[in-house]
Amino acid sequence: MAAAVEVSNLVRRYSPVAGITDVTFSAPEAAVTALLGRNGAGKTTTVEICCGLRRADSGTVRVLGLDPATDVAELRARVGVMPQAGGSGASGVYPAVRVEEALRLYSAMYADPLPVDALLEVLDLQRVRRTTWRRLSGGEQQRVSLALALVGRPAVVFLDEPSAGLDVHARHTTWDLVRELRKAGVSIILTTHDLAEASVLADHVVIIDGGRVVATGSPADLTRDASTDGLRFEAPAGLALDSLDTALPDGATAHEVRPGHYAVGPRVDPDVVAAVTAWCAQQGVMADNLTTSGQTLEDVFLSLTAPEAP
Amino acid sequence: MTTLDLTPGTGAAPRRHTLAAQGRMELRLILRNGEQLLLTLIIPITLLLLFSKAPIADVPKPRVDFLMPGMLGLAVMSTAFTGQAIGTGFERRYGVLRRLSTTPLSRPALLGAKTTAIVLVETLQTAVLCAVGAALGWDPTGSAVPVIGLLLLGTACFSSLGLLMAGTLRAEATLAGANLLYLVQLGLGGVAFPLTDFSGGVRRLLELLPLGAMSDGLRHVLNQGAGVPLHDWATLTVWTAAALVAASRWFRWD
């Protein structure tokens, strides 16, 4: 699959300890690529360099084959950007402008924009179309911001935490829209802290930590790890597992991966499941989210981005 | 749910479309802003009425003839400098300029849109002030060409100074600084008080202020039917060039 975004050995330092030190990844065309990382990992800096909002110290970036630092006009005509909401109070929209006015302003900048009325309807914004930006709720501002990123029919769209602050319905509307974009051939670069969102939307995941890429691949690739096959469940933290180990079939052991999250392995079969559920009943605890699949994206993320011990 | 055809588009609209759309937005935002209206129209008209009818200051008679050139200069300064500096400062603060810079709207087009909106507002201000002046008995002389030239050069000068301030200071500092400079130039720029009231050294210094030069030049044309003194053109040109160079060098878009 061709790449919509190619980033190689990107470096942008703000200080000896902040910034990005080595970011390399490729985002396929007509796919959702999720950039994951802790706060300050370098996700937003990477996206800002890809959008031409910031210069890199070194490394190369190509978006649709164009260099964001030099091919500015060509790129801006084909890229949509939804910045992170609320950073230092910077919303990116005139506070006194009405929703429809903002959308019509942005749509006037493109040759064949999306119809504003239809976009307002899809994002459930008709009710507030004459409301000024400053009077919108946080969720409404997020949806308007998404609409502004999409109104120009971009070929690549950068969405920085698009569902932050949205209610459940609005979040699902946003996810549906992202899927529709992918189906229409748009390449989506999604920055998110919501690993469930990344799991359900992303075709490709890039995990950044401490300013460098620590893992890339599809969610299935990243969570497929033979060493972690087994049974997993959630229960109150700190359960004494000696009696469970005794109850388990030969060779199987249990351990608490992190507080309240338990794993039993190295293999799983009906006897292991029966032993675990029986033991939980005996202890008077509920085994929540009991699953026999491998690790989740959250498990992978936590293991790759664990803070260093002091 | 309404379905959208989200297929990628063909690119940017013609440049004149983006310029016109942004220009309309700039104009709408200026006219919608109550504080801006106070600066651009209410204060100059109130001062004109007050100083021409009440013996507040010892100004040459007929009082309205003396006051009108300064008020026209003040109107230009209020829109091109004070209003623009405050508006642009807060656009930076709210991330508006940064977000616009991810769209096909180029920086020259954005500046062009701002300039267009400013010139349109100034045209409205000038028309209203001239109408009020005429009602008060204002009897201007001289050619319109140097007057328009001075108003345009003054716009370029104050606009560059406004952008320099907005692009280098925090929004709150710009708000305070732009209002302070408005008041200082209102008092010392030859608007309501003749600069001849000041002693020689101070007067020569005040004549070097942009508003002092502009008021003086407009007064030479409108009151005496003479040309604009060379030193007024020179003063405004030097301020404009210096502010343009500084703004191009230090203006920060975010």
pLDDT in tens, A106-160: 999 999 999 999 999 999 999 999 999 999 998 999 999 999 999 999 999 999 9
Pairwise pLDDT comparison (B120 vs A223), residue with the higher score = B120
A309's CB contacts (< 8 A; 6+ apart) are: none
pLDDT at res. B173: 95
- Which of A32, A44, A110 is best to mutate for the B interface (most B CBs within 10 A)? A110
The predicted model gives A286-304 an average pLDDT of: 80
pLDDT of amino acid A294: 64
Cβ of residue B13 closer than 8 Å to a chain A Cβ: yes
φ/ψ (deg, to 5) at A190:
-115, 120
Verify whether the Cβ–Cβ distance A111 to B6 is below 8 Å.
no
Are the beta carbons of A105 and B25 separated by less than 8 Å? yes
- Per-residue pLDDT for A306 more than 70? no
- Minimum Cα–Cα distance from B91: chain A residue: A94
CB atoms within 10 A of CB A183: 11
Q: Answer whether A53 sits within 8 Å of B102, measured CB to CB.
A: yes
Task: Name the β-bridge partners of A157.
Answer: A80, A188
Q: B99 and A77: CB-CB below 8 Å?
A: no
In chain B, what percentage of residues exceed pLDDT 70?
A: 99
Count the helices and strands in chain B (H runs, E runs): 12, 0
Q: Determine the Cα–Cα distance for residues A23 and A7; give it in Å rounded to an integer.
A: 7
Evaluate if residue A1 carries a pLDDT over 80: no
> Where do the H-state alpha helices sit in A77-232?
99-107, 116-122, 138-150, 168-183, 195-201, 219-223
The 10 Å CB-count burial string (b at 16+, else e) for A131-147 is bbbeebeebbbbbbbbb
Q: For residues B221 and B142, give the distance between their C-alpha atoms in angstroms, rounded to a whole number.
A: 5
From residue A207, give the alpha-carbon distance in Å to each of A170, B8, B210.
Answer: 26, 28, 56
User: What is the pairing mode between strands A32-36 and A204-209?
Assistant: parallel
Q: Which of A252, A250, A223, A254 is nearest to A239 (CA)?
A: A254
Q: How far apart are CA A111 and CA A114, in angstroms?
A: 10
Residues of A in contact with B2 (CB under 8 A): 118, 121-122
Interatomic CA distance for residues A133 and B96, integer angstroms: 12
- How sure is the predictor about A14, in pLDDT bands with cuts at 50, 70 and 90? confident
Q: What is the ipTM of this complex?
A: 0.85
Burial class (CB in 10 A: 0-12, 13-18, 19+), A179: middle
Task: Enumerate the residues of chain A whose CB falls inside 8 A of the CB of residue B99.
Answer: 81, 83, 92-93, 148
Q: How far apart are CA B71 and CA B51, in angstroms?
A: 11
Cα distance from N-terminal residue to C-terminal residue, chain B: 38
Give A96's contacts in chain B (Cβ within 8 Å): 29, 32-33
Q: Name the residue among A148, A55, A48 with its Cα closest to residue A97.
A: A148
